[in-house]
Amino acid sequence: MSFPSAHAKVYSTPNGVLYLREPACCLLMRPEVDISGTREFLEGYGDSFEFAKYLDDPTTIPPAELLCKFAGQLCYLSFGPKRTWHHKANEYFANIRSSGHGSVLEHACFTFLFYGVSRSVTHELVRHRAGAGYSQVSQRYQDIRTVRFVERPEYQVIPELHEMFISRIESSYNEYIRVADILMTKQAEGLKELTADKLTDLRKKVNQCARSVLPNEVEAPIVATFNVRALRHILEMRAAEPADIEIRKMAYMMYCLVNHLAPILFEDYKPTQLPDGTYCLKTDTSKV
């Protein structure tokens, strides 16, 4: 079965410039966990502790929860019969959250591909450094014909602004292509600022200059990996009501995916619908 994803339709202006109207998110990686290999370690403490029976817990919990719970219970060697059993995993993680022991949540990671997101959104996203990894389309290397744009939600409901958006992305795309054409001509003529030995460097010298005319609403696909502690912080900052609607939509979409896969780790979040129809998240246990 494939991983969950939420895709976005690609639109075209009358003159063929491509744009999207929604953030899209594909889950690329989630935890896969097998703790059965710990049997010898658990048995090594002797039969009297009954630690190995931890592996026979009759309740199944999702992999991310299992990983973080095992890691957390290692801290106190809480593997014996008096431990918190898996059927009380909700209580276990409520305690982790309320006591601020969020470091155990750093073991579980998720990787996403986001597209249909603008450069302004991803600029906000990449400010989150702790527990995060990013790989983003390079405007210096991408083929200039692959540039697409993202229409803000407000423009989609105000016809005058929608028309301005269409006209603006057509003109900025055309200017971008025109600048690149002029640069390539000058490059072929040997202008020293544009020369390079390798083919990729030649393209880079053109693209890095031409991209200066692209607006914030250019699309900026990005692959992002977050551990659950970092992810929770990002959700609290970016799915909050004061966040920009574009990143709030993206963050809420990410929440829906991970809440589906690791419901106990995100069960404290309360989604609330805002007057504009989008959702924000609230929790009583922030920044664990």
Ligand X SMILES: Cc1cc2nc3c(=O)[nH]c(=O)nc-3n(C[C@H](O)[C@H](O)[C@H](O)COP(=O)(O)OP(=O)(O)OC[C@H]3O[C@@H](n4cnc5c(N)ncnc54)[C@H](O)[C@@H]3O)c2cc1C
The rounded distance, in Å, linking the Cα atoms of 67 and 137 is 32
243 belongs to the binding site for ligand X (CB under 6 A): yes
Collapse the DSSP code of 134 into the 3-class scheme (helix H, G, I; strand E, B; otherwise coil) and give the result.
strand
Which of 14, 58, 159, 242 lies at the binding interface for ligand X (CB under 6 A)? Answer: 242
Residue pair 55/38 in contact (Cβ under 8 Å)? The answer is yes
Other CB atoms closer than 10 Å to residue 16's CB: what's the count? Answer: 8
Q: Which two tokens stand for residue 95?
A: 């305690």
- Which residue's CB comes closest to ligand X? 128
237 belongs to the binding site for ligand X (CB under 6 A): yes
* Size, binding site for ligand X by CB under 6 A: 8
Q: Enumerate the H helices of 132-195 as residue ranges.
A: 153-157, 159-188
**Least distance in angstroms from the C-beta of 270 to ligand X:** 19
264 belongs to the binding site for ligand X (CB under 6 A): no
- Which CB, 234 or 265, lies closer to ligand X? 234
140 belongs to the binding site for ligand X (CB under 6 A): no
Give catalytic status of residue 238 as yes or no.
yes
Q: Which two tokens stand for residue 145?
A: 């014909």
Which of 148, 205, 233, 249 lies at the binding interface for ligand X (CB under 6 A)? Answer: 233
Which of 40, 48, 58, 129 lies at the binding interface for ligand X (CB under 6 A)? Answer: 129
Which of 29, 75, 77, 130 lies at the binding interface for ligand X (CB under 6 A)? Answer: 130
β-bridge partners, 135 = 223
β-bridge partners, 227 = 109
Residues of the shown chain interacting with ligand X in the complex, contacts defined by CB under 6 A: 127-130, 233, 237, 242-243
